[in-house]
Amino acid sequence: MPTAKSDAFVFFGATGDLAYKQIFPALQALTRDGKLDMPVIGIARSGWKVAQLRKRAEDSLREHGGVDKAAFAKLSGQMQYLDGDYNDAQTYDKLRKALGDAQHPLHYLAIPPSMFVPVVKGLAASGCSQGARVIVEKPFGRDLKSAQALNRTLHRFFREHDIFRIDHYLGKEPVQNLLYFRFANAFLEPIWNRDNIASMQITMAENFGVQGRGKFYDEVGALRDVVQNHMFQVLALLAMDPPANRSADAMRDEKLRLFRSMRPLQPGDIVRGQFDGYLKEAGVAKKSTVETFAALRIHMDTWRWAGVPFFIRAGKQLPVKCTEVLVRLKNPPQQVFDSPDQGAVNFFRFRLSPNVVISLGARVKAPGEAMKGHPVELVAHRDVREAMAPYERLLGDAIDGDSALFTRDDCVEEAWRVLDPILGDKVPAHKYKPGSWGPKEANALIDGAGGWNDPRIEPAPKDGK
C-alpha cells in the first residue's frame, strides 16, 4: 500500500467539462499551496498539443476563481499533454515513459464510466498501475449489480485502499461541519435518538434544469445523480453512530453499519417527478420517464432510529438553490402554556448551501401579562466563500493517500441495495411546474411528519453553481 505521497498526477478526460470546471482550479490552488510539486499529465483524444491544454487551463481559471500568476506559471511548467485513444496500448506506453521515475502516480479517471474498464486495463498492462492510486468519478454503477461489477473490475487491478471514489459533497465545508458539530459537542448525542427526535428531512433544491447535460442526465435521473451518493452521504453523517476515531475506516465502518440498517425502499416510499419542459431539453429522449425530482421516506432498523422517519427530497427547477437539513424534535408532552403553531416547537436546522447555518428552533415568551410566546431561531452562521473548494480538498487528500472523504466499495453497494427496488419506472414520474416545489403527490409522503420544510432564501443566480 503506497502510504507515500503521490509523485505524479495524471488525469484522463483532460479536455472535458469536469477538468474545465473543477480540476484546473483545484490544481492551481494545490500548486499555490505547495502541494503539487510533481508532473501533471493530462490525457485525452482531442489531437491537442500541450500549449492548447495550457490555454484551456487558463480559460478555465479565468472563469472559475481567477488566474494566480505565480501558481499558474508553475503549474503550466509541470503540465504535459498526452494524446491517445483509451483503447490503444500505445497510449499507456507513452504514459509509462512520461511518468519517468514516479513511483506512486495518481490516475484520475475524469471520464464516463463506460471508459473505466479499458483505462484500468491499459494502466495495468503497461505497468502504470504499479504503486499507483486511482480516482474514479461518480456515478459508481447504475444499480447494485453494475456497481458490484465495477468494483470487481477495479479490484482486479487496484487494492481497495488505493481506489478513491470521489463524491464532492464530502469535500464541502458545511458537510464536514455536520460531522464536526455532531461529534465535537456533548449535548447532542444524548438526545440524538428515537426518544427525542420525531423526524429528519433533507432538501436539495436547485433552481435550474439540466444545463446542457441532457444526454448525461437522461441516463441517470435524480436518484442516481444526487440521491444514491450526495444525499445518502449527508444522511449517513446525520444518523450514524460516533466513529471510534478519525481514521478513514472508522468513519466508513459506521456509515456502512447505518446503510445496512436501512430498509430497501418500496414503491410507497417514493414519489418521482419530472419538470414540464424537460422533454424539450437537448439530449433527452422524446418520451423519457426519467425523474428530475425524487422524494423518499427511509426507515432504519436500529435501536437508535426505530420508528423515526427520514425524508430526502431532491429536484431540479425548484424555487431556490439550497440544501438544507431539518431535524424535528418531539414536542413537549404537555401544553402548559399557549398551543404553539403547527409543527415542531424545537428543531435543528443545518443549511449546507448556499451559506452555512446551524440553528436551534425554540419558543420564548412574548413580553406582556399573558403566558404567550413566539418561535425564535438561535443561529450560528458562516459564509463559505473563503472555504476550500471541495475538489481542492479531495484531490489534496488523494495525493496524500487519505481516503476518509472517499466512498468505500461496501458503502456504495449498500446504498444501491436500498435504492435498487425502486429504480426505473416502478412508480410514475408526475409532472411539475418549473419554479414549484415538485409534484403535489410528494406531500402525502410526509404529511404525518409535519410536512416539507421549504427553505426560504433569496433566489441564487440562475447559472446554478
How far apart (Å, rounded) are the C-alpha atoms in residues 104 and 10?
Answer: 11
In this complex, which beta carbon is closest to ligand BG6, that of residue 167 or of residue 414? Answer: 167
In this complex, which beta carbon is closest to ligand BG6, that of residue 243 or of residue 390? Answer: 390
In this complex, which beta carbon is closest to ligand BG6, that of residue 65 or of residue 421? Answer: 65
Name the minimum Å distance from CB 457 to ligand BG6.
14
Of 82, 101, 78, nearest to 91 (Cα)?
82
Name the minimum Å distance from CB 465 to ligand BG6.
5
Cα–Cα distances (Å) from 61 to 19, 75, 186, 226, in that order, read 11, 12, 42, 26
Name the minimum Å distance from CB 204 to ligand BG6.
7
Among 162, 206, 291, 397, binds ligand BG6 (CB under 6 A): 206
In this complex, which beta carbon is closest to ligand BG6, that of residue 159 or of residue 465? Answer: 465
DSSP 8-state symbol, 43: E
Beta-carbon contacts of residue 51 (< 8 Å; ≥ 6 apart):
none
Provide Rg for the chain, Cα atoms.
23
Evaluate the omega torsion of the peptide bond into residue 375 and state whether it is cis, within 30 degrees of 0. Answer: no
The C-alpha cell 431556490 sits at 320
Strand 347-353's sheet: what is its strand order?
A: 373-382, 356-365, 347-353, 322-329, 197-205, 310-315, 293-298, 270-275, 429-432
Site string for ligand BG6, 352-381 (x = CB under 6 A): -x----------------------------
φ/ψ of 42, rounded to 5, equals -95, 135
Name the minimum Å distance from CB 106 to ligand BG6.
21
Of 58, 101, 53, nearest to 80 (Cα)?
53
Residue of this chain nearest to ligand BG6 (CB atom): 225
Q: What is the CA 452 to chain-centroid distance, rounded?
A: 22
Residue 206: all three cell numbers together? 436547485
In this complex, which beta carbon is closest to ligand BG6, that of residue 162 or of residue 206? Answer: 206
In this complex, which beta carbon is closest to ligand BG6, that of residue 8 or of residue 398? Answer: 398
Name the minimum Å distance from CB 50 to ligand BG6.
29
Query: Taking phi first (over 0 means left), then psi (-120 to 50 degrees means alpha), and beta for anything else, what does residue 47 get?
Result: left
Site string for ligand BG6, 213-252 (x = CB under 6 A): ------------xx--------------------------
> Which DSSP helix (H) or strand (E) runs through 443?
helix 441-446
Q: What is the CA 324 to chain-centroid distance, rounded?
A: 14
> Which DSSP helix (H) or strand (E) runs through 232?
helix 232-239
Name the minimum Å distance from CB 373 to ligand BG6.
36
Of 400, 394, 396, 397, nearest to 6 (Cα)?
400
How far apart (Å, rounded) are the C-alpha atoms in residues 38 and 122?
Answer: 22
The count of other CB atoms within 10 Å of the CB of residue 367 is 7
Q: Are 117 and 153 in contact (CB under 8 A)?
A: yes
Cα angle 155, 160, 165; round to 5: 100
How far apart (Å, rounded) are the C-alpha atoms in residues 452 and 465?
Answer: 24
Residue 283: all three cell numbers together? 439530449
Q: Are 109 and 134 in contact (CB under 8 A)?
A: yes
In this complex, which beta carbon is closest to ligand BG6, that of residue 126 or of residue 353? Answer: 353
In this complex, which beta carbon is closest to ligand BG6, that of residue 272 or of residue 299? Answer: 272
In this complex, which beta carbon is closest to ligand BG6, that of residue 83 or of residue 218? Answer: 218
Residues 49-68 that bind ligand BG6 (CB under 6 A): none
Instruction: Supply the residues annotated as catalytic.
Output: 230
Size of the site for ligand BG6 (CB under 6 A): 5
How far apart (Å, rounded) are the C-alpha atoms in residues 146 and 228?
Answer: 14
The C-alpha cell 495518481 sits at 106
Query: Where does this chain bind ligand BG6 (CB under 6 A)?
Result: 206, 225-226, 353, 465
